[in-house]
A and B are shown apart, each in its own frame.
Chain A
């Protein structure tokens, strides 16, 4: 992975098992645990507690609600051995305390090993760049299956 994520990275970063389109809890920390458990259930997380602590510590620093209805809780932690991304979608929205006061409806989680600072910033900036486009957000809202979410992401980062 260089400074951007590419189409070919999507299957490894966010396979279908990391995507859940049923409504997540609408309270922030419960929603973060919900996303984390997608990665735990997929076998990506060696230490759930350590990962959760790192995610919540990052939220303490400043919210990962980046506005435009998007939340991207993330952490660098050795609780994972390779970069992993999860996605869920909330109809009602989750209050992430974003600066624009918009509840987060498109929710991504990024976990990257501690030594992976380059990957971490690459994934975060690529996702943010993609999500600034209204048509990408619309595709993610409209996706009816995990495969459709993956397709939207592949197109968005191309």
Chain B
């Protein structure tokens, strides 16, 4: 199991386009990825839009990503990249 803490960079938080890009990216890997607020153990599926919306993470806040599976590290790298990219630099989802 791999885990990391990532800060949310997009100004609107984990919301709208960054959130849909995040969910889509999570779905591209075989690994099971879950997300929670950094200060919480309440993990929810990273591949579910409603679950990601429920986190309500604002810009500057931190989230915990937990991945399990063969490509877990690659999945976390890609998801960290999405969360670290300002919204205006995010390529079309």
Query: Which residues of A come within 8 Å of B, CB atoms?
Result: 3, 58, 61-63, 65-68, 70, 72, 98-100, 121-122, 124-126, 128-129, 131-132
Task: Say yes or no: B49 contacts A67, CB within 8 Å.
Answer: yes
Task: Say yes or no: B16 contacts A67, CB within 8 Å.
Answer: no
Query: Which residues of B come within 8 Å of A, CB atoms?
Result: 13, 15-17, 19-20, 23-24, 27, 44, 48-51, 53-56, 58, 93
User: Which residue in B15, B23, B27, B49 is a CB contact (below 8 Å) of A121?
Assistant: B15
Task: Say yes or no: B48 contacts A125, CB within 8 Å.
Answer: no
A-B contact sample (5 more), CB < 8 A, given A121-B13, A129-B54:
A62-B93, A99-B20, A99-B49, A128-B50, A128-B56
* B residues less than 8 Å from A70 (CB atoms): 50
A-B contact count (CB 8 A): 53
* A residues less than 8 Å from B44 (CB atoms): 132
User: Which residue in A99, A122, A126 is a CB contact (below 8 Å) of B23?
Assistant: A99
A63 to B15, CA, bound (A): 11
Q: Which of A58, A72, A121, A131 has the most CB of B within 10 A?
A: A121
Task: Say yes or no: B56 contacts A98, CB within 8 Å.
Answer: no
User: Which residue in B20, B24, B49, B55 is a CB contact (below 8 Å) of A125?
Assistant: B55
Task: Say yes or no: B24 contacts A99, CB within 8 Å.
Answer: yes
A99 to B47, CA, bound (A): 10
Task: Say yes or no: B56 contacts A62, CB within 8 Å.
Answer: no
| Closest CB pairs A-B (n = 5) | A125-B56, A128-B54, A129-B54, A66-B50, A128-B53
Task: Say yes or no: A121 contacts B56, CB within 8 Å.
Answer: yes
* B residues less than 8 Å from A62 (CB atoms): 16-17, 19-20, 93
